[in-house]
Chain A
Amino acid sequence: MARRVTPARKATVTAAAWALGLLIFFPILWTILTSFKSEGDAVAIPPKFLFFDWTLENYAVVNQRSDYLLHFWNSVVISFGSTFAGLLIAIPAAWAMAFVPGRKTKDVLMWMLSTKMMPSVGVLVPIYLLFRNTGLLDTRIGLVIILTLIDLPIIVWMLYTYFKEIPGEILEAARMDGAGLRDEIIHVLTPMAVPGIASTLLLNVILAWNEAFWTLNLTAAKAAPLTAFIASYSSPEGLFYAKLSAASTMAIAPILILGWFSQKQLVRGLTFGAVK
């Protein structure tokens, strides 16, 4: 498309896009700005945008409450733990479905996707009771188990679409070259699949980090990840905008950064490969 775009048109488009982009981003920006304000400036009317006394005090306060770090660590363990467990189960399954497709493969894939459509609330009661009776309530391991199960279909699907793109002829070539199944996986499949596995991991960590049904319902003080920790700020008393903002910023910052890296994979991951 080597066609000339008039500068005026380009400027108009740029202005409109930036205005809309900033509008959409504004709540996040505002949260970040507020996290550096004193509590007084945070609720000032008219709002103070950039000219206030910048302070790191809120972060210090939030961090001093040692439970913040605990919840942060819970989020890390739960999101990475469930993702790794999911990958461990899903890699062989996706490998088999992509490279040894049978007549039932499509059906199995669709069925896996359908389990994702079961509303969580439909099984809330038994899971809650099972967890209570087995002592899994408010434990990280319990949440890792649940999140592994709910993310498994997405992980399998994502890996499947990535593996599908590795031409089967290459694996056959390896077989002809004398590679057994083990060599085939180590020397050929894994190096070719690593980028796909990495994006799957990234996306799933993000999804698990932000999961807020099971994490809210199955945890209390001990194993609560950041989703649940932040929710505790919703009670009206003790509400401090600046501290809420600082805690929120810390809760979303890591995932915001990971997310920006994974934009491209995000689309194909969340659409089960239907949009690339």
Chain B
Amino acid sequence: MATQHSRSAARLMISPAVLLLLGWMIVPLAMTVWFSFLNYNLLQPGPRTFAGFSNYYYFLTDPAFFTAIWNTLVLVLGVLAITTVGGVLLALLLDQPMWGQGIVRILVIAPFFVMPTVSALVWKNMFMNPVNGIFAWIAEALGLQPFDFLSQAPLFSIILIVAWQWLPFATLILLTALQSLDSEQMEAAEMDGASALARFFYITIPHLTRSITVVILIQTIFLLGVFAEILVTTNGGPGTASTNLTYLVYGQSLLQYDVGGGSAGGIVAVILANIVAIFLMRMIGKNLEN
């Protein structure tokens, strides 16, 4: 539909966005790469010397690094498992005829709008606190010993908090997808003699695959960068029990002021994220084709 005139106008209109994002990608990233090869600590004045790969060496051989990678994986996969399975089940339930569906929907979606620092603090103090928390009260009421969630199972607790924030997102998207399922398709399957279970596996699930993919992709982007929840609840501890990669790099750079080491960690995080991203982009790309 385009004429030569509109084509050049189009290029002009796209360029600010492209240039800004290009700058945003290249400049800081190049600086991170540069810093990662320097001995550069904000607490140590004096000349910054070339460090070679030593920053990488220290970062990658630090036992905390492996813990962080493991924790990141557990966190992402744990939350993904809870939210997708829970999301499918909840969406199926909410798709049934009921009274007050609109209100239930609103109740379910609400946690998504709570800022991470608030949800982390509320869970930490009012639910998981071993003395005053609701969970402690429930445990005592049942005659059990109160459980100190954040010191005894810190990563699990954080997974629980983050999953609470993201379950609404998964549910809402899957519910939307369910509602777009053509009812004639269901009726045709019924006419063809498919049982409710068969309809679920042969029609509902394939129909949801695309949305489930999307849920996984988008959540992964956000879950790889979980930060505030850890900062507010455990500070990555006890020890490094709940430190993920993001938090590790943050600690290295802004708590220990080790710019070189933090940058090396940042680059490692970027590389790992890119490996994940390549898979994600392929899948999104495929999704966009149809």
Q: B189 at the A/B interface (Cβ < 8 Å)?
A: no
Pick the contact of A47: B112, B134, B249 (CB < 8 A). Answer: B134
Q: How large is the interface on A (under 10, 10 to 19, 20 to 34, 35 or more residues)?
A: 35 or more
Pick the contact of A275: B99, B123, B214 (CB < 8 A). Answer: B214
Pick the contact of B176: A114, A245, A275 (CB < 8 A). Answer: A275
Please indicate the chain A residues that have their CB under 8 angstroms from the CB of B32 in the complex.
Answer: 122-123, 125-126
Closest to B273 in A: A119
Interface centre among A10, A110, A126, A216 (most CB of B within 10 A): A126
Q: Is the interface of A mostly helix, strand, loop or mixed?
A: helix
Among A46-84, those with CB < 8 Å from B are 46-47
Q: Is the interface of B mostly helix, strand, loop or mixed?
A: helix
B221-255 interface bits toward A, Cβ cutoff 8 Å, 1 = contact, 0 = none: 10011011001110000000000011001100110
Please indicate the chain B residues that have their CB under 8 angstroms from the CB of A90 in the complex.
Answer: 17
Tell me, in angstroms, the Cα distance from A72 to B119 when the chains sit together.
17
Please indicate the chain A residues that have their CB under 8 angstroms from the CB of B231 in the complex.
Answer: 216, 231, 234
Tell me, in angstroms, the Cα distance from A183 to B18 when the chains sit together.
26
Tell whether, in the assembled complex, residue B28 and residue A244 are in contact, meaning their CB atoms are under 8 Å apart: no
Q: 21 interchain pairs (CB within 8 A)?
A: A10-B98, A17-B93, A25-B107, A25-B108, A28-B111, A31-B122, A89-B17, A117-B273, A117-B274, A118-B29, A119-B245, A123-B31, A125-B253, A209-B115, A234-B120, A248-B122, A255-B113, A260-B113, A263-B106, A267-B172, A267-B173
Interface residues of B (CB under 8 A from A): 1-2, 6-7, 9-11, 13-14, 16-18, 20-21, 24-25, 27-29, 31-32, 35, 90, 93-94, 96-101, 103-127, 132, 134, 137, 140-141, 164, 167-169, 172-173, 176-177, 180, 183, 210-211, 214, 218, 221, 224-225, 227-228, 231-233, 245-246, 249-250, 253-254, 259, 262-263, 265-267, 269-270, 273-274, 276-277, 280-281, 284-285, 287-288
